[in-house]
Amino acid sequence: MTEMKVISSERLRWLGRKIFAACGALPAEAAIVTDELVEASLMGLDSHGVIRIVQYAEEVFRGKIKPGAPVTIVKETASTAIVDCGFNFGPVSAVRMSQIVCEKARVANVACVVSQSGHHVSRLGEYVQRIAQQGMFGLGAANSSRHGHWVAPWGGSQGRLATNPLAYAVPTSGLPLVFDMSTSMISEGKIRTLMAEGKSVPPGCIRDGAGNPVTDPKAFYGPPRGTIQPFGSELGYKGFGLGLLVEILGALLAGQASALDLPYINGLCLIAVNPEAFCGSQQFRTMIDGLCEYVTSCPPAPGFSEVVMPGALDFRKRQQRLAEGIPLAETTWADILAVAQRLGIATEETTAERVQP
């Protein structure tokens, strides 16, 4: 079993900011990246959380992430923009894109912003959540360049898409409703974890290089390299179609061809719709509240204790981990400390340095 340590979000926030600043990020940008990763960990999305601190730092060392690179609009109209992310940290450019799409939708009522040369954005739900926090409907899609194409098309035996997440969010009178799904049966990271633990993958998720269903991660990694199935089990052609939707929005609109091994990591598309142009902002919020009430009032099915809206369990987890800390594999924590040491950072904060969450 993996030994676990529990680290407070405050300490991770403090240390992450130090690490990214030492990597050359502007203080404000170091804070954005750290906060995004800590938020993902707080909400239970550990694969997109502070475990990425080390990966991001290494990408800086390798010149793949360019701290401080300008995030610039290369083409725009009142309602649209193509944003060149300059290979700055993904959360830096994605937060900027969420601001741009909101500014545009505030005036133009519907807006769409896409990226070029973007790095890893971490939790996609974050950026649609930011749109919802501005009172609007937000839709987000994030593809990956060819190197991440583990997911087979329906009926195919080679990877043609990444796990291509799709997300949306809307405001309520409380916490926003945030939905964030991958369009595949499982993530590659999860398969890697299962292999490390000597476990098999649930049936229906992966195939070997010849396209035969398997459950052994080693048969998946090959060679030849196997594939992940699109989301949907026996209706997987639907998940395949959703994956293509993400590809079209995340890559093609911005002019990034799928078949090329371009150096970007995530192609991000954000769409914002301003309810003021429709039923009205206050009415929209009230209607979402009504939908939540209608849906969660549903009597649970056998085996369930309640019906919850998308994102609700993540926000509960956030409250719990804010109070109790974030559980990390000891190796993950050791890796973070090693990166800090390499950067010459004292890893014990003083009281004067404590960051407010």
Q: Report the site for a second copy in 121-160 (rule: CB under 8 A).
A: 137, 152-158, 160
Pick from 185, 191, 201, 336 the residue near a second copy by CB under 8 A.
Answer: 185
Q: Is residue 223 at the binding interface for a second copy, with CB under 8 A as the rule? A: no
Residues 161, 164, 169: CA angle, nearest 5 degrees: 160
- Check: CB of residue 142 under 8 Å from CB of residue 124: yes
Residue carrying structure tokens 């991770």: 12
Q: Is residue 175 at the binding interface for a second copy, with CB under 8 A as the rule? A: no
Q: Return the structure tokens found at 206.
A: 């992966």
Which x/- pattern over 267-296 shows residues binding a second copy (rule: CB under 8 A)? ----x-x-x-xxxx--xx--xx-xx-xxx-
In angstroms, give the least distance from the CB of 324 to a second copy.
Answer: 25
**Number of residues that this document lists for the chain:** 357
Which x/- pattern over 304-323 shows residues binding a second copy (rule: CB under 8 A)? x-xxxxx-------------
In angstroms, give the least distance from the CB of 200 to a second copy.
Answer: 16
Of 60 and 141, CB closest to a second copy: 141
Q: Which residues pair with 73 in a beta bridge?
A: 83
Cα–Cα distance for residue pair 40/34, rounded to 1 Å: 10
Q: Is residue 264 at the binding interface for a second copy, with CB under 8 A as the rule? A: no
- Farthest CA pair distance, the chain: 59
Of 61 and 278, CB closest to a second copy: 278
Which x/- pattern over 88-117 shows residues binding a second copy (rule: CB under 8 A)? --------------------xxxxx-x---
Alpha carbon of residue 327 to chain centroid: 19
36-75: contacts with a second copy (CB under 8 A): 75
In whole angstroms, how large is the CA radius of gyration of the chain?
Answer: 21
Number of residues in contact with a second copy under rule CB under 8 A: 82
Pick from 211, 222, 263, 357 the residue near a second copy by CB under 8 A.
Answer: 211
Helix axes 312-324, 27-42, angle to 10 degrees: 110
Pick from 1, 28, 259, 323 the residue near a second copy by CB under 8 A.
Answer: 259
Burial of residue 222 (CB within 10 Å: 0-12, 13-18, 19+) is exposed
